[in-house]
Amino acid sequence: MRLSTLVYMHKNMEKMEPLLYDVIVVGGGISGLSAAARLKQFHVKSLVIEAASIMGGRMRTHQETNLELGAQWIHGGVNANSLYNYAIQKGVLNKENKIQEDSEKGIFFYTSTGRMIDLETSQKAWEIHERIVDESENYPKGGNGVQISLKSYYEKQAKEKLKELRQVAKNKTFSGEYESDLDYDEEDLKLAMDALIIQFEAYCGDTLDEAGVAVYGTSQELPGGDVPFPSGTSSVIRELEKEIDERVMNTKVTRIEWKDDSYFISTEERPEAYRAKHVILTVPLGVLQKKSITIEPPLGVAKETAIANLRPGRISKVFLHFNEPFWIPGEGDIIFLWTKKEMEQGVKSKDWTTRVSSIHELESCPNWMVMWVSGDAAVIVDSIDDEQVLKGATRILRRFTGDPGISVPDKILRHPWLADPLTLGTWSYPSIHSKHQDYYELMRAMPSPENPRLLLAGEHVHPQYWSFMHGARLSGLEQADKIIKYMGKMKPKQNGISAAK
Ligand SMILES: Cc1cc2nc3c(=O)[nH]c(=O)nc-3n(C[C@H](O)[C@H](O)[C@H](O)COP(=O)(O)OP(=O)(O)OC[C@H]3O[C@@H](n4cnc5c(N)ncnc54)[C@H](O)[C@@H]3O)c2cc1C
């Protein structure tokens, strides 16, 4: 059916019976599009309903600059990664696009008094920080691990590791070496460790008070490094869009109700506009938590508790363009060492700048830098205007580098993911109340696995790869497969190989 005919039909349905589909997919991000493309492969008629004016959700490339307003890296450039495979198959990525770890680059740590701390100390701090991050991922999983917040975990580990270092220093002094021979400054190291916790926040996706360490490590890291898409994440979305059946955009789903042996889908424009035998609901966690869509009968206590226990993630990613770069190419990665006191005062006075962890130059886009903000501060950033963000960013850059001549960036680019009612978060993570089992509960079809009618998909439901684009894609594929199997359409494996994911 031609798209113009379809648009005409959808616009003129006021007096029509609901349009009937095998499957309605709510949300056109990577999970929804992957599900719909999979259904089409197996001749299952589906419709994707997307509330925004473009598909892709949190995968959004700014066309003129190629900057990624949302997701950027495929974490894990290996065959085991279904998104990586798909991108290679479609030619939007090639095997040479793998990037190496940029350990060659210097990390510059600046204090709030405009002093750069020496390289040995910053390297030592970074080393300890990375060790803590790695070890947190190996924390005993699920029920075996005592559930504490990542913040307590990080602070405890940092303290212990600094103590161990002090012990080594003491032993050296006893053996006749002087402390001044040590290759780091103890006070600066402590300052750096206190501040680097915000780096961990930017990595995890929020302040760490509520993130639960025992479930945190269940998100599996694939090998193969971090791989960017040369033409942006939107390039993979465009490929998927070619492979789906039907779609409507600018259409917000408000109600999903089971009656007369099918689901009736209401939109803002029209009650019961669509009818389907199965629904795959892929709206983000924040949207589910806000209950922007009424679901009848409700999801039930187990799923609702699992949803309430997860957190949608609060990060602001802000791109700044400098007409005249103040950094030397290759030396534009700056970590801001706020003191503990400054950070605490910042929380009290709602000064978002004290939660800016770092700023990084973008080698692929000269003159551009990206700044990360986490937690409550990110919520503030997403609610204020560009001018205020530019002012705040310039203020901290001048203060930390000690260079009052740094010019105000002349352009700013960002998407307010936390304020956008269609996302209400960045990428999800488990709280101290979550159990790993919750993800399996969220993936469990309703009303039962034998009768899969309503299925949740999205980055927030995948038990192994939650938070990632490839987790979102896999969740869509797996939920679509349950419906395909139920409908008896699953093709027998050919030569032992089923259709590639
Ligand atoms: C700043 C940022 C950086 C990130 N970096 C990375 C990264 O480097 N690597 C990585 O792997 N992941 C990253 N992520 C996470 C990644 O973007 C997500 O895991 C993934 O894109 C989620 O896909 P999804 O299909 O689950 O959800 P979404 O992409 O959010 O799709 C859900 C869709 O539902 C639609 N919708 C909402 N409400 C309704 C409604 N009522 N009716 C109809 N439609 C509705 C939304 O408009 C949206 O299009 C990042 C995310 C952000 C925000």
Task: Tell me the pLDDT tens digit for each residue of 179-225.
Answer: 555 678 889 999 999 999 988 888 888 988 888 887 777 777 888 88
What is the structure's pLDDT at 145?
54
User: What is d(CA 165, CA 186) in angstroms, rounded to the nearest whole number?
Assistant: 9
Atom of ligand 1 nearest to the CA of 423: 30
Q: If you average pLDDT over each of 210-224, 298-312, 354-368, which comes out highest?
A: 298-312
What is the structure's pLDDT at 493?
43
Atom of ligand 1 nearest to the CA of 475: 26
**Ligand 1-lining residues (CB < 6 angstroms):** 26-32, 49-52, 57-59, 70-73, 75, 252-253, 282-284, 287, 292-293, 315, 317, 417, 422-423, 426-427, 458-459, 467-469, 472
Q: If you average pLDDT over each of 166-170, 179-183, 282-286, 327-331, which comes out highest?
A: 282-286
What is the structure's pLDDT at 161?
92
In this structure, the residue with its CA closest to atom 2 of ligand 1 is 70
Distance (angstroms) between ligand 1 centre and the Cα of 496 equals 34
What is the structure's pLDDT at 94?
80
Answer yes or no: do 140 and 178 share one domain: yes
Is residue 501 predicted with pLDDT exceeding 50? no
What is the structure's pLDDT at 412?
98
288 or 501: which leads in pLDDT: 288
Atom of ligand 1 nearest to the CA of 415: 1
Answer yes or no: do 290 and 240 share one domain: yes
Does residue 272 form part of some domain?
A: yes
Which structural domain range is residue 172 located in? 118-216
In this structure, the residue with its CA closest to atom 4 of ligand 1 is 71
Answer yes or no: do 234 and 208 share one domain: no
Pocket probe for ligand 1: among 381, 459, 475, the residue whose CB has the most ligand atoms within 8 Å is: 459
User: What is d(CA 345, CA 360) in angstroms, rounded to the nearest whole number?
Assistant: 25
Percent over 70 (pLDDT), the chain: 89
Yes or no: say if 154 and 199 are a contact pair by the CB < 8 Å rule. no
Percent over 90 (pLDDT), the chain: 71
Does residue 337 form part of some domain?
A: no
Yes or no: say if 236 and 83 are a contact pair by the CB < 8 Å rule. yes
Atom of ligand 1 nearest to the CA of 34: 25
Distance (angstroms) between ligand 1 centre and the Cα of 440 equals 20
Residue 462: closest CA among 447, 449, 452, 477: 477
Answer yes or no: do 180 and 267 share one domain: no
Atom of ligand 1 nearest to the CA of 253: 42
Q: Which of 121-125, 148-152, 164-168, 319-323 has the lowest mean pLDDT?
A: 164-168
The b-or-e profile of 332-352 (16+ CB within 10 A means b, else e) is bbbbbbbeeebbeebeeeeeb
Mean pLDDT of the chain: 89
Does residue 448 form part of some domain?
A: yes
In this structure, the residue with its CA closest to atom 38 of ligand 1 is 422
The structure tokens listed for 378 are 């990110």
Does residue 395 form part of some domain?
A: no
What is the structure's pLDDT at 105?
64
Does residue 360 form part of some domain?
A: no
Answer yes or no: do 40 and 176 share one domain: no
Distance (angstroms) between ligand 1 centre and the Cα of 58 equals 3
What is the structure's pLDDT at 407?
95
What is the structure's pLDDT at 491?
64
Answer yes or no: do 207 and 291 share one domain: no
Answer yes or no: do 212 and 232 share one domain: no
pLDDT-based confidence at residue 499 (cuts at 50, 70, 90): very low
User: What is d(CA 328, CA 332) in angstroms, rounded to the nearest whole number?
Assistant: 7
- The DSSP element (H or E) to which 108 belongs, if any, is strand 108-111
Does residue 460 form part of some domain?
A: yes
Pocket probe for ligand 1: among 99, 427, 442, 468, the residue whose CB has the most ligand atoms within 8 Å is: 427
Total domain count for the chain? Answer: 2
What is the structure's pLDDT at 176?
60
Answer yes or no: do 145 and 186 share one domain: yes
Does residue 465 form part of some domain?
A: yes
In this structure, the residue with its CA closest to atom 37 of ligand 1 is 422
Q: What average pLDDT score do residues 219-242 get?
A: 92
User: Which of 187, 216, 245 is at the close of a domain?
Assistant: 216
In this structure, the residue with its CA closest to atom 14 of ligand 1 is 71
Q: If you average pLDDT over each of 77-81, 103-107, 175-179, 273-277, which comes out highest?
A: 273-277
Atom of ligand 1 nearest to the CA of 422: 37
* pTM, full prediction: 0.91
What is the structure's pLDDT at 492?
42
User: Which of 160, 189, 216 is at the close of a domain?
Assistant: 216
Is residue 494 predicted with pLDDT exceeding 50? no
Is residue 312 predicted with pLDDT exceeding 90? yes
User: What is d(CA 448, CA 318) in angstroms, rounded to the nearest whole number?
Assistant: 43
User: What is d(CA 371, CA 413) in angstroms, rounded to the nearest whole number?
Assistant: 11
Answer yes or no: do 197 and 276 share one domain: no
Answer yes or no: do 145 and 183 share one domain: yes
What is the structure's pLDDT at 236?
97
Is residue 171 predicted with pLDDT exceeding 50? yes
Is residue 490 predicted with pLDDT exceeding 80? no
Answer yes or no: do 188 and 132 share one domain: yes
Is residue 178 predicted with pLDDT exceeding 70? no
Strand partners, 316: 373
User: What is d(CA 76, CA 96) in angstroms, rounded to the nearest whole number?
Assistant: 14
Atom of ligand 1 nearest to the CA of 426: 53
Residue 34 belongs to domain with CATH number: 3.50.50.60
Q: What average pLDDT score do residues 385-394 get?
A: 97
52 or 182: which leads in pLDDT: 52
User: Which of 216, 239, 271 is at the close of a domain?
Assistant: 216
Q: Which of 139-148, 291-300, 390-399 has the lowest mean pLDDT?
A: 139-148
95 or 500: which leads in pLDDT: 95
Distance (angstroms) between ligand 1 centre and the Cα of 283 equals 8
For the segment 97-151, what is each residue's pLDDT rounded down to a tens digit? 666 555 556 779 999 999 999 999 999 999 999 999 888 877 776 555 567 888 9
Instruction: Describe the crossing of helices 186-204 and 150-174 by its angle, rounded to 10 degrees.
Output: 160
Pocket probe for ligand 1: among 237, 270, 283, 310, the residue whose CB has the most ligand atoms within 8 Å is: 283
Is residue 91 predicted with pLDDT exceeding 50? yes
Amino acid at 478: E
Residue 126: closest CA among 149, 101, 145: 101
Q: Which of 34-48, 70-84, 216-230, 276-290 has the lowest mean pLDDT?
A: 216-230
User: What is d(CA 21, CA 276) in angstroms, rounded to the nearest whole number?
Assistant: 5
User: What is d(CA 80, CA 118) in angstroms, rounded to the nearest whole number?
Assistant: 41
The structure tokens listed for 210 are 């509520």
Does residue 40 form part of some domain?
A: yes
Answer yes or no: do 298 and 440 share one domain: yes
